[in-house]
Structures are given as structure tokens and as C-alpha cells.
């Protein structure tokens, strides 16, 4: 009888200390790096499980979108951009990685409620897994961009050396937003539906399918210049389409805003983490 009563007890809920330094969190990442790698591998496998083409969908989706946008904006709207498919893909691929990471990471805590309640590990790993998975897809997708660059005889040179810097800044920027949204969504589930609408509006307020110069003289262009995603996307476009180094001022502003957003997201995550196990 005593043993039965003990077995019927609810599983232990783990809680992380409310105050932990950045150094402690970095140590956790290093200590649990094998777990993080395992989570990323699992996420990449599960995402396309049961589909006929599997991982190739990460290439086909941006290609199909590129065809649609190329027809619309090169033929119907008539944007005067040389090698428009290169311009489009250079912005569309990192945007897709950002949007998919944000959508997946925002629900990562709720979707993995059993892990949150019962397993003792850094909960930041759950949104981080989605972000890293998106960046892995992005790196492989650059292979398609390279093929198109060769087909369209797009000059490529030393500015390609800046790609790791942009990928790192995209990681920091996206992770900051994901930490904040994933923590808030545990308490306010409606955020999941608002993210889709917000990303649609954010997409058209970022120069992905049109050059920034096309709206630079309008009032909208003024606000676009203060959009961190504008700094990120135009950086990729400079490297792949213009064969030029990203603007150093925009790159510096992106670095500052990304770090600030990561610190804010970490602060929100830590403030709300105490009741994750009860709320999920």
C-alpha cells in the first residue's frame, strides 16, 4: 500500500534558479552541448517526416516562391532589377529561415510540455533548437543560390567572407525574439495566431521582394531604414546580388540591436520561467 501511494505521486517538477548569470548559462550550453545537438538533429528529421521529398522541401519552397514573385514583380509590376531571381533569393532564403524559426520556437515550450515538466535541462534549448535548425536549412539553401549565381553569371567575390558574420547576427537577433515570444506564449496562447499575421505584415515592411531604393523617397522608406530585418536582408543582398560588402553602419546597428534584443528576450524568459511547468 505504501509503495502504491508513492508511485501515485505526480512527477517532480524542476525549477531553475530565478537569477543566473550569463556565464552560468554559457556553462550550461557547453555542459549540455550533446543534448542540444541531439535536439537539433531530431528537429531536422521530424520536420519532413512522412513526406516523399523530405529535406528537399527546404529547397523547393523558396524556389516555388521565387518563381511566383519573379513572375509578379518582373513581368506584371516590372521592377527594374538586374538578375532579379538572385536578388529575390538572397533576401527570401534568410527571411524564410527567420519566419520558420520564429513560428516553431514560439510554441516550443508548449509543444514539449513533458520535457518542461519532468526533465532537468536549460529550457532555453527548446527555442534555440528551432533557431539553429532554421539556420542549418539556410546554410544548405545557399547551395541553390550559388547554382543560380552561376546560371545568371552573377559575380561573387570576397564579400562572401561576411556570410558567417550575418549568420551569427541572424542567430542572435532571432533567438532574442524567440526567447521572448516562447515565454509569453506559455501564458497567452493567442500570441501563436498573432505571430502569423505579424510576420505577413513584417514581410512586406522588409525589402525582400523589392529593392530598398524603390521606396527610399517615401515615408514608408524612412521607417524601413530603422527595421533591423532591413539591415540584415540588405546585407545578404549586398553580398549575393551586388558583390559588395554590407554597409558598415547598418551592420553595426544590426549588431547593437541584436544584442539588445537577445538580452531583453533572456530577461523576459527568466522572469516568466518560474511557472512554466505549471502553465504548459
pLDDT beneath 70, residues of the chain? 1-26, 28-29, 32, 48-59, 70-79
pTM for the full predicted model: 0.83
Joined together, the cell numbers standing for residue 65 give 516562391
In a domain? residue 9: no
Q: For the chain, first and last CA: distance in Å? A: 32
Helix 84-106 / helix 191-204 crossing angle, nearest 10 deg: 160
In a domain? residue 11: no
In a domain? residue 130: yes
> Which range of residues forms the domain containing residue 23?
17-279
In a domain? residue 4: no
- What pLDDT score does 4 carry? 42
Q: 10 Å Cβ neighbour count for 146?
A: 14
Joined together, the cell numbers standing for residue 13 give 517538477
In a domain? residue 12: no
Q: In this predicted model, what pLDDT tens digit does every residue of 26-70 receive, in sequence order?
A: 676 677 677 788 888 887 777 766 555 555 666 677 777 777 776
* Domain tally, the chain: 1
CA distance 156 to 152: 11
Amino acid at each position: 500500500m505504501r509503495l502504491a501511494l508513492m508511485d501515485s505521486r505526480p512527477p517532480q517538477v524542476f525549477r531553475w534558479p530565478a537569477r543566473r548569470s550569463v556565464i552560468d548559462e554559457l556553462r550550461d550550453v557547453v555542459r549540455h552541448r550533446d543534448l542540444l545537438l541531439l535536439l537539433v538533429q531530431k528537429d531536422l528529421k521530424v520536420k519532413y517526416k512522412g513526406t516523399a521529398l523530405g529535406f528537399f522541401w527546404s529547397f523547393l519552397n523558396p524556389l516555388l516562391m521565387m518563381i511566383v514573385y519573379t513572375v509578379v514583380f518582373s513581368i506584371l509590376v516590372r521592377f527594374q532589377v538586374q538578375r532579379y531571381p538572385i536578388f529575390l533569393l538572397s533576401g527570401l532564403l534568410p527571411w524564410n529561415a527567420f519566419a520558420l524559426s520564429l513560428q516553431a520556437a514560439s510554441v516550443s515550450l508548449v509543444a514539449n510540455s513533458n520535457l518542461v515538466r519532468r526533465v532537468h535541462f536549460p529550457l532555453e534549448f527548446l527555442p534555440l533548437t528551432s533557431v539553429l535548425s532554421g539556420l542549418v536549412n539556410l546554410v544548405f539553401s545557399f547551395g541553390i543560390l550559388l547554382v543560380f549565381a552561376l546560371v545568371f553569371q552573377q559575380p561573387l567575390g570576397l564579400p562572401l567572407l561576411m556570410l558567417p558574420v550575418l549568420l551569427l547576427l541572424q542567430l542572435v537577433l532571432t533567438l532574442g525574439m524567440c526567447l521572448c515570444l516562447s515565454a509569453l506564449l506559455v501564458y497567452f496562447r493567442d500570441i501563436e495566431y498573432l505571430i502569423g499575421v505579424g510576420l505577413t505584415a513584417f514581410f512586406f515592411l522588409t525589402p525582400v521582394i523589392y529593392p530598398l531604393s524603390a521606396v527610399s523617397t517615401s515615408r514608408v522608406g524612412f521607417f524601413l531604414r530603422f527595421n533591423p530585418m532591413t539591415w540584415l536582408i540588405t546585407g545578404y543582398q549586398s553580398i549575393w546580388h551586388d558583390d559588395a560588402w554590407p554597409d558598415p553602419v547598418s551592420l553595426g546597428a544590426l549588431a547593437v540591436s541584436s544584442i539588445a534584443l537577445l538580452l531583453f528576450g533572456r530577461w523576459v524568459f527568466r522572469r516568466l520561467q518560474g511557472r512554466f511547468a505549471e502553465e504548459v
